[in-house]
Amino acid sequence: MIRIAIDGPGGAGKSSLAKAVAKRLGIIYVDTGALYRTIGVYMLGKGINPSDEEKVSANLPDLKLELKFIDGNQVILLNGKAVGDEIRTPEASMAASAVSALGSVREFLLMTQRNIAENNSVIMDGRDIGTVILPYAEVKIFLTASPEARAKRRFAELTAKGIETTYEKVYTEMVERDKNDSTRALAPCVPADDAVLLDNSELTAEGTTDAVLKIVNKEIKQRKKKFNPFYRVCRILITVFMRLTMIIKVTGKENIPAEGGVVLCSNHIGIRDVFLIGITYPRQLFFLSKKEWFKIPVMSSVMRAWGAIPLDRGGKDVGALKNAVVVAKKGKTLALFPQGTRKPGINPKDTQVKSGAGMIAYHSHADMLPVCIKTDGVKYRFMRKIEVIYGKPIKYSELGFERGSVGEFKDATSKVFDEICELGGYSSLPSDEGEQS
């Protein structure tokens, strides 16, 4: 699945670009501006000033908006009736800009937009797709062009449709709308931190499409890559060593998602856990590791090549968490130990979990994968029996996120951790079986 967010001011050519890319990739194109336009036109039709938040909000419950895709083309049904070109007039544009500044309208449209991207690969254009609607989109483009170039294009578009206007009028309205859209308090039209900025003032429509396809294809290729070469070699060497010194049984490998972002969570008994998962998981793992390792010159390169992300364990390391989110967002697997640190007791039920894993899953929109390391003892012993049990992934939509609160992060982490305990058959509290190191 791939989600592409195209944001930028009016007239930058977002919709032609998105249509062309959608066609080339065989995915759905969602024009979110049309939703705001539909609400704007509906309010005008009722004689309501589209900037009057009270009246607009009061009328929203009478409005039933549905999005359908017929032969790949988006159709908006307003109270069961398909809307047409009436939402493309200059008046509709100004009304759309006015209603789009209202919190109640943005809230009203939020889930309609998100739901489409939940189960489909989409390219969605608008103003806040990369920042608010799909912050976890794999590709984000902020498309812009000079106001003159955009007004020229919009004027040609309107004239071709037989709508009478002048270039000056289009230019003035465009500048006014740009100001409204980019300075409003709610979801202003600004690039996301991780968006690629593309100015197409000097590019043709085909040139713009090619530039974006290049970015998208690079992303798709990157996501398909299973291991980097260094990781692959290390993995072989570690596999040989571990298989010769331990009896490792792996179950549930069929549960491992073949692609897409994953936050893998495991109980943590000893240092060997990260290697046990590394050699049995068929895709490269990334993990957080204390930053002290990265201070040793050669070690630092080795750790990075091995997929480690430096973490300051002294306090809240926001940068490390952001990097971890990016990994899962880019369709990779991030391995975490929600117990926070190694717990030598072999019954994971003996510990409390932290909320970090849930938080990373929320921000990256990744599924969570429970893994249980089960062993009859903690200390290193030649030919010790160890079982690595992969559970079924818990889908993002099953993790109970609504507002992204710390409580939700903790609940999601606990849900996965309960599953880990279940996989290992650790249902009773607490156990003192096995040796303690």
**Which residues contact ligand DC (rule: CB under 6 A)?**
10, 32-33, 36-37, 93, 96-97, 100, 126-129, 177, 181
17/246 with CB nearer ligand DC: 17
State how far the Cα of 377 lies from the Cα of 396, in Å rounded to an integer.
Answer: 34
74/375 with CB nearer ligand DC: 74
Helix (H, G, I), strand (E, B) or coil at 167: helix
Instruction: Kindly state the smallest distance separating residue 403's Cβ from ligand DC, in Å.
Output: 20
Q: What stretch of H or E contains 124? A: strand 122-126
177/374 with CB nearer ligand DC: 177
Q: What angle do CA 22, 24, 30 make, to 5 degrees?
A: 5
Six-digit token pair at 102? 């209202």
Identify the CA nearest to 332 among candidates 293, 305, 366.
366
145/389 with CB nearer ligand DC: 145
Instruction: Kindly state the smallest distance separating residue 46's Cβ from ligand DC, in Å.
Output: 19
The CA distances from residue 101 to 97, 106, 177, 180, in Å, are 7, 8, 11, 8
Instruction: Kindly state the smallest distance separating residue 177's Cβ from ligand DC, in Å.
Output: 5
Instruction: Kindly state the smallest distance separating residue 98's Cβ from ligand DC, in Å.
Output: 8
128/273 with CB nearer ligand DC: 128
97/208 with CB nearer ligand DC: 97
Contacts of 7 (CB under 8 A, 6+ apart): 14, 125, 126, 127, 128, 129, 130, 131, 140, 141, 142, 143, 189, 191, 192, 195
Instruction: Kindly state the smallest distance separating residue 361's Cβ from ligand DC, in Å.
Output: 25
Instruction: Kindly state the smallest distance separating residue 210's Cβ from ligand DC, in Å.
Output: 22
130/370 with CB nearer ligand DC: 130
Identify the CA nearest to 37 among candidates 80, 97, 126.
97
DSSP state string for 292-311: GGGGSHHHHHHHHHTTEEEE
Instruction: Kindly state the smallest distance separating residue 216's Cβ from ligand DC, in Å.
Output: 20
**Half-sphere exposure for 55 (CA within 13 Å, toward CB):** 12
